[in-house]
Amino acid sequence: MKATAKAHTNIALIKYWGKRDEALILPTNNSLSITLDGFYTTTSVEFNEELTKDRFVLNETAVEGEQFQRVTKFLDLVRSLSGKRLYAEVASVNAVPTAAGFASSASGFAALAAASSKAIGLNLTETELSRLTRQGSGSACRSIYGGFAEWQKGEAVDGSDSYAVPIAPREHWDIRVAAVVLSSKMKKVSSRRGMRRTVETSPFFNGWVDSIPYDLEAIKEGILNKDFVKVGEIAEANCLKMHATTLGANPPFTYWLDTTLSVMQTVQQLRDSGIPAYFTIDAGPNVKVLYLPEHEEKVQETLRNIPGVSDVKLSRVGQGISYLEDDTFV
Ligand code: 2P0
């Protein structure tokens, strides 16, 4: 009863920011992302009658504490779906450099959901898999698909209609993402705590939610028509609106550093010089920059030269979940 799966992380162009149900991980708004080929997690799960508890090894180190609890709680869901009370040995390798500011929880829970459900004998459709994955980490439900995916928030109280759907495959459009890594180790407000505080206290939160349907329709049209300027403008504005909600929270907070603002301004200057490039930022200080392949050299060089930037990692549009033969997993 063993299976191995590989999942790529994703970057949201329309952000998931706010939950209507914390336990089931149900969002207040739809979100839309690009799956990235540069950053992924490979996870192998083996259910075994001889185990007396779950075990989780990440990058060859046994994990305990809160991280372990999240994995074992997720495995409980898989066990309850299958009706089998078996413990599991979980081994993950993360090719998502934490320093790059990408949430490894997206690729991590997508790979865990795929490998564990397959290993225990559940034969899930992609929709069912996305719905299950959502309960590990919200943004992870979008990583089931390659290319461009939308997480539909759904209306049902039990979460049955809250899952991701594919918008366009990776072959549809070759756009690129540069992850700009800033040299800071500043402790941040976790995205879970940050979104909860925003929902509960920010007077800007309702404005954020109200603005989503327009952004979503417009960006989907932009993606389908490969209209880079339209997609970039909407993604950048959507990111700024999300971050604006945190300034209205009580107590107020921001994920930005001075260097975050420098990168944002440099991206705007790139545009002024005729190169279409747009930024987006998640629950952290690092900036991701969208650009077209023909501008890769110039964009990369410009970003690397900003004082305070420690690295720039480039990525293309990536693929969805894949299952590996066990012997290909190292
Ligand atoms: C996103 N973020 O859409 C947004 C943008 C952060 C900013 O999804 O609590 O780690 O596990 O559902 O998925 C980060 O939130 O949170 C996130 P949980 P998750 O990518």
- Are the beta carbons of 38 and 104 closer than 8 angstroms? no
Minimum-distance ligand 1 atom for the alpha carbon of 105: 10
Place of tokens 């898989």: 78
18-47: pLDDT as tens digits: 999 999 999 999 999 999 998 999 999 999
With 0-12 / 13-18 / 19 or more C-beta atoms within 10 angstroms meaning exposed / middle / buried, residue 246 is buried
Q: How far is the CA of 103 from the centre of ligand 1 (A)?
A: 8
CB of 28 closer than 6 angstroms to any ligand 1 atom: no
- Report residue 43 as tokens: 């996870």
**Does a cis peptide bond (omega within 30 degrees of 0) precede residue 251?**
yes
CB of 110 closer than 6 angstroms to any ligand 1 atom: no
Band (329; pLDDT cuts 50, 70, 90): low
Whole-angstrom CA distances from 303 to 37, 52, 182, 263, 276 are 20, 50, 11, 7, 14
Average pLDDT over residues 151-178: 98
Instruction: Check for a shared fold between 2-171 and 176-315.
Output: no
pLDDT at 322 over 90: yes
CATH no., domain 176-315:
3.30.70.890
184-242: pLDDT as tens digits: 666 678 899 999 999 999 999 999 999 999 999 999 999 999 999 999 999 999 999 99
Beta bridge partners of 26: 21
Question: d(Cα 75, Cα 136) in Å, to the nearest integer?
Answer: 9
CB of 13 closer than 6 angstroms to any ligand 1 atom: no
Task: State residue 330's pLDDT score.
Answer: 44
Beta bridge partners of 65: none
CB of 105 closer than 6 angstroms to any ligand 1 atom: yes
Helix (H, G, I), strand (E, B) or coil at 26: strand
- Are the beta carbons of 111 and 297 closer than 8 angstroms? no
DSSP 220: H
Q: What is 2-171's CATH topology?
A: Ribosomal Protein S5; domain 2 (3.30.230)
CB of 26 closer than 6 angstroms to any ligand 1 atom: no
Question: d(Cα 18, Cα 27) in Å, to the nearest integer?
Answer: 6
48-71: pLDDT as tens digits: 999 999 999 999 999 999 999 999
Place of tokens 């069912």: 128
Task: State residue 166's pLDDT score.
Answer: 98
CB of 146 closer than 6 angstroms to any ligand 1 atom: no
Task: State residue 282's pLDDT score.
Answer: 94
Q: How far is the CA of 150 from the centre of ligand 1 (A)?
A: 14
Domain boundaries, the chain: 2-171, 176-315
CB of 215 closer than 6 angstroms to any ligand 1 atom: no
Exposure on the CB side of residue 280, measured as CA atoms within 13 A: 27
Exposure on the CB side of residue 208, measured as CA atoms within 13 A: 30
- CB crowding 1-28: b at 16 or more within 10 Å, else e: eebbbbbbbbbbbbbbbbbbeeeebbbb
Task: State residue 144's pLDDT score.
Answer: 98
Task: Quote the percentage of the chain above a pLDDT of 70.
Answer: 95
